[in-house]
Amino acid sequence: MLIKEIIYTPVSLVKGLWVTLVNFWRRKVTLQYPDARWALPENYRGVPALPTDPKTGRDKCIACGACTRICPQEAIKIVTDTGEDKKRRLIEFTVDAGVCIWCGLCTEVCPAHAIIMSKAYELATFNREGMKYGLERLHELGGHISEDSDEEKAKSACGGGR
């Protein structure tokens, strides 16, 4: 047994050094994270967010509640109020990202295309309450509505813009 260990030790050391030597000349794949960030794929789905219109400063949510009904985890909660003009107004919109499974059903069912799946991935907090995002935080995560995205959606709805 002792002789096997005496032979095995230098052999395994040489094998390990050989692996190190071979990989030393390969292209580096390590990303220096805080300074450099990964390029996210186009279809990346982050936490649901509400982008705002840069002209008006408001989101496009019509407070219909379709997102709350379709959510399988019941992660979305909305509070609405009926105004004097008998239209619903959004009072409160909350997404519990700790419960959300980021499936994207809420974005598909929204008739106003008010909800998007954000590209945010740095969402760590020290407690579960920090994972509940209110209206202001959802606006921050959503950014601004781009005019070209509305045109693209209109073209895709009309059969690809032919």
The pTM of this model reads 0.71
- Quick: pLDDT tens for 135-160: 999 999 998 887 655 444 544 444 44
Q: Are 142 and 59 in contact (CB under 8 A)?
A: yes
- Quick: pLDDT tens for 9-23: 999 999 999 999 999
b (16+ CB within 10 A) / e for 122-151: eeeeeeeeebbbebebbbebbbebeeeeee
Which fold, 48-147? Alpha-Beta Plaits (3.30.70)
Domain boundaries, the chain: 48-147
